[in-house]
Amino acid sequence: GAVVSQHPSRVICKSGTSVKIECRSLDFQATTMFWYRQFPKQSLMLMATSNEGSKATYEQGVEKDKFLINHASLTLSTLTVTSAHPEDSSFYICSAYSGNTIYFGEGSWLTVV
């Protein structure tokens, strides 16, 4: 079946630096991908919808200049957390549709120290 791969699975970065997370659809093309964030004991919250070849659509309250999304090809979307702070530490996960089924990446644990 379809697979969505995320990298890195875990990353630790220093406060003030930027970190990039990649989301790839391995055997299908995804014109739209979704980025979620999940804090401990909370639900997955949609951050933004990534659209191939155009600007991402951000949910209310998500800073587009802090969470940069690039979807330059039909199989790759990237999320860059810029000037990361400890409060950005979270589980970031992407998803994409193949047909009528949504597939999730394995998720990326970000720890900002």
Partner 1 sequence: RKEVEQDPGPFNVPEGATVAFNCTYSNSASQSFFWYRQDCRKEPKLLMSVYSSGNEDGRFTAQLNRASQYISLLIRDSKLSDSATYLCVVSGNTGFQKLVFGTGTRLLVSP
In the complex, the residues that contact partner 1 under the rule CB under 8 A are 32, 34, 36, 41-46, 49, 91, 93, 95, 97, 101-102, 104-107, 109
Nearer to partner 1, 3 or 13 (CB): 3
Query: Cα–Cα–Cα angle for 103, 4, 17, nearest 5°?
Result: 115
Report the largest interatomic distance among the alpha carbons of the chain, rounded to a whole angstrom: 40
Nearest by Cα to 56 from 94, 1, 101: 94
Nearer to partner 1, 45 or 68 (CB): 45
User: From the CB of 83, what's the least distance to partner 1, in Å?
Assistant: 26
